[in-house]
């Protein structure tokens, strides 16, 4: 089955084409046929398409909206120019898997999209006003362009965390706010945490219900997850992705009293302060330079800028704090797992995070740490380390494709 995986944002679209079926996933025999992205939808858009094993193709086209973007991509994929042998016509795309950010309390796993599911995703807009509308537009665009017959599956960022107990997901505020409005912690990046946990147990040959680990997704957005018996037990993101670790432009945990205080001082309303916490904070806010960790590390090496070092040190200390908290919540763990752009590629940040974690039994191996970059998977701790540390590149698209096939072929993920 050739599955088109779509991750739609407000003005961008990431896509992959993955060929897999129930047998292939048993053997890890899935094939990635192509990947790409569109930026600046709504204007002069930039589109990249990389068929597997071939050079990257680039196009600049004016694309009015997400529907036009999806139509363009699908036609391009099916054209001779893309040279994807498995896709000769639109009918060679057999199903579409969507990353949907917020599944609220309703969706605990991936589901086939029908009218009822569409309405339920609509109901979650209130909880994810920035993300769910784009996901819904993408779903409708596919129906319009490829026809109502094409199976579409929604894979939710929140679903993996639906196993969190009340003690993890409730805030210490009046219980009625949870009951009346669904104010609780939902958690995000679930597909990534679930994927690396799955990879870890497969590689170590551990039964699912014996997995007890802390996963760290460190990219532009960052979150930690405590996984017990293979399920999410706690995670650092909350009602929205703002809570928890310090991120590229998000503050992470802040005393909420800061919000009315800043609103008064700056003459802003609560929504505007929230925007500052989401868009102008984190690594960017502290360094005053950039949200990009690679640039910060280069800047630190060249200019020893105090605020740059401070931003990186704060970032690392926050991660360390959550590792300590989550290992304690789990009553001990087999390993911590690094993933995401920073987690997969930066031995330096990993080393700075793990500094002092000998108290938890974690002894990093500097050579193994340095060797695990560019998509390499494996342990970076010393063989005698009581708490292990792994690097496992995430692959959310693969999991979305696999869930799509499972839902379409056997009815559940
Ligand atoms: P997203 O969360 O948007 O998917 P990524 O997972 O791609 O983002 O992570 C992007 C982050 O990873 C950026 O801060 C980038 O600088 C960082 N990053 C990528 N490669 C490296 C590297 N070699 N060293 C340090 N940081 C890196």
Confidence tier at 197 by pLDDT (50, 70, 90): very high
CA of 394 to the centre of ligand 1 (A): 12
pLDDT at 410: 94
Regarding the beta carbon of 245 and ligand 1, being less than 6 Å apart is answered no
Q: Residue 150: pLDDT above 90?
A: yes
Task: Name the active-site residue from 92, 123, 157, 388.
Answer: 157
* Measured distance CA(30)–CA(50) in Å, rounded: 17
Mean pLDDT value across residues 176-194: 98
Regarding the beta carbon of 346 and ligand 1, being less than 6 Å apart is answered yes
CA of 221 to the centre of ligand 1 (A): 9
For a substitution probing ligand 1, which of 99, 157, 217, 219 has the most ligand atoms within 8 Å of its CB? Answer: 219
pLDDT tens, residue by residue, 221-254 = 999 999 999 999 999 999 999 999 999 999 999 9
Regarding the beta carbon of 385 and ligand 1, being less than 6 Å apart is answered no
CA of 248 to the centre of ligand 1 (A): 9
Regarding the beta carbon of 340 and ligand 1, being less than 6 Å apart is answered yes
- Using CA atoms of 232, 236, 237, 242 in order, give the dihedral in degrees to the nearest 10: -170
Active site residue 157: yes
Regarding the beta carbon of 300 and ligand 1, being less than 6 Å apart is answered no
* Measured distance CA(201)–CA(209) in Å, rounded: 10
Number of residues written out for the chain: 413
pLDDT at 10: 87
E strand or H helix at 78, and its extent?
helix 66-78
For a substitution probing ligand 1, which of 221, 223, 293 has the most ligand atoms within 8 Å of its CB? Answer: 293
CA of 316 to the centre of ligand 1 (A): 14
CA of 345 to the centre of ligand 1 (A): 7
Residues 6+ apart with CB under 8 A from 56: 48, 49, 50
Closest ligand 1 atom, residue 295 Cα = 16
* Measured distance CA(127)–CA(357) in Å, rounded: 36
Q: Is 37 exposed, middle or buried (0-12, 13-18, 19+ CB in 10 A)?
A: middle
Protein residue whose Cα sits closest to atom 12 of ligand 1: 341
Contact 15, 138 (CB under 8 A): no
List, edge to edge, every strand of the sheet that includes 222-228: 231-235, 222-228, 212-218, 335-339, 388-391, 378-379
Protein residue whose Cα sits closest to atom 13 of ligand 1: 292
Contact 220, 283 (CB under 8 A): no
Nearest CA-CA partner of 71 in 45, 53, 50: 45
pLDDT at 280: 98
3-class secondary structure, 45: strand
Regarding the beta carbon of 285 and ligand 1, being less than 6 Å apart is answered no
Mean pLDDT value across residues 49-65: 95
CA of 220 to the centre of ligand 1 (A): 6
What would the two tokens of residue 194 be?
A: 């679930």
Across 68-104, b (16+ Cβ under 10 Å) vs e yields bbbbbbbebbbeeebebeebeeeebbbbbbbbbbbbb
Regarding the beta carbon of 339 and ligand 1, being less than 6 Å apart is answered no
Nearest CA-CA partner of 20 in 401, 369, 325: 401
Nearest CA-CA partner of 227 in 267, 192, 185, 183: 192
Mean pLDDT value across residues 125-149: 93
pLDDT tens, residue by residue, 153-181 = 999 999 999 999 999 999 999 999 999 99
Q: How far is CA 327 from CA 215, 227, 317, 347, in A?
A: 11, 10, 15, 22
What would the two tokens of residue 273 be?
A: 């302060």
Confidence tier at 112 by pLDDT (50, 70, 90): very high
Classify 2-156 by CATH class: alpha beta
pLDDT tens, residue by residue, 206-220 = 999 999 999 999 999
* Measured distance CA(185)–CA(164) in Å, rounded: 9
Confidence tier at 131 by pLDDT (50, 70, 90): confident
Regarding the beta carbon of 221 and ligand 1, being less than 6 Å apart is answered yes
- Using CA atoms of 369, 371, 376, 381 in order, give the dihedral in degrees to the nearest 10: -30
Domain ranges of the chain: 2-156, 205-391
E strand or H helix at 42, and its extent?
none
Closest ligand 1 atom, residue 394 Cα = 6
pLDDT at 322: 98
Mean pLDDT value across residues 19-36: 95
Cα 164–Cα 167–Cα 172 angle in degrees, nearest 5: 125
For a substitution probing ligand 1, which of 192, 220, 375 has the most ligand atoms within 8 Å of its CB? Answer: 220
CA of 122 to the centre of ligand 1 (A): 31
What superfamily in CATH does domain 205-391 come from? ATPase, nucleotide binding domain (3.30.420.40)
Strands, E assignment, 275-334? none
pLDDT tens, residue by residue, 303-350 = 999 999 999 999 999 999 999 999 999 999 999 999 999 999 999 999
Mean pLDDT value across residues 360-376: 98
CA 153, distance to chain mean position in Å, is 17
Mean pLDDT of the chain: 97
Paired with 17 in beta bridges are 4, 34
């Amino acid at each position: 089955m050739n599955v088109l995986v779509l991750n739609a944002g407000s003005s961008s679209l990431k896509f992959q084409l993955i060929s897999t079926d129930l047998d292939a996933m048993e053997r890890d025999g899935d094939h990635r046929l192509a990947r790409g992205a569109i930026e600046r939808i709504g204007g002069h858009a930039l589109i990249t398409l990389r068929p597997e094993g071939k050079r990257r193709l680039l196009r600049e086209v004016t694309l009015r909206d997400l529907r036009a973007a999806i139509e363009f991509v699908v036609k391009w994929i099916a054209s001779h120019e893309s040279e994807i042998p498995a896709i000769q016509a639109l009918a060679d795309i057999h199903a579409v898997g969507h990353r949907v950010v917020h599944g609220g309390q309703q969706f605990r796993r991936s589901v086939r999209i029908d009218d009822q599911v569409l309405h339920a995703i609509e109901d979650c807009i209130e909880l994810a006003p920035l993300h769910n509308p784009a996901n819904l537009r993408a779903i409708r665009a596919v129906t319009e362009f490829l026809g109502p017959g094409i199976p579409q599956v929604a894979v939710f960022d929140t679903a993996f965390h639906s196993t969190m107990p009340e003690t993890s997901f409730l805030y210490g505020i009046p219980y009625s706010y949870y009951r009346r409005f669904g104010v609780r912690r939902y958690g995000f990046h679930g597909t990534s945490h679930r994927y690396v946990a799955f990879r870890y147990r497969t590689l170590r040959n551990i039964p699912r219900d014996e997995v007890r680990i802390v996963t760290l997704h460190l990219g532009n957005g960052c979150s930690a997850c405590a996984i017990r018996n293979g399920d999410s037990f706690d995670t650092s993101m909350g009602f929205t992705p703002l809570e928890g670790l310090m991120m590229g432009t998000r503050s992470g945990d802040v005393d909420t009293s800061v919000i009315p205080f800043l609103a008064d001082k700056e003459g802003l309303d609560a929504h505007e302060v929230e925007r500052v916490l989401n868009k102008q904070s984190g690594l960017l806010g502290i360094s005053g330079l950039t949200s990009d960790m690679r640039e910060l590390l280069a800047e630190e090496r060249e200019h020893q800028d105090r605020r740059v070092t401070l931003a990186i040190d704060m970032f690392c200390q926050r991660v360390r704090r959550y590792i300590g908290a989550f290992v304690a919540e789990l009553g001990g763990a087999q390993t911590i797992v690094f993933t995401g752009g920073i987690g997969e590629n930066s031995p330096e940040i990993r080393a700075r995070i793990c500094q002092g974690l000998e108290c938890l039994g974690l002894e990093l191996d500097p050579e193994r740490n340095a060797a695990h970059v560019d998509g390499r998977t494996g342990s970076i701790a010393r063989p005698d380390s009581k708490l292990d540390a792994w690097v496992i590149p995430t692959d959310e698209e693969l999991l979305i494709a696999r869930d799509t096939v499972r839902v379409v072929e056997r009815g559940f993920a």
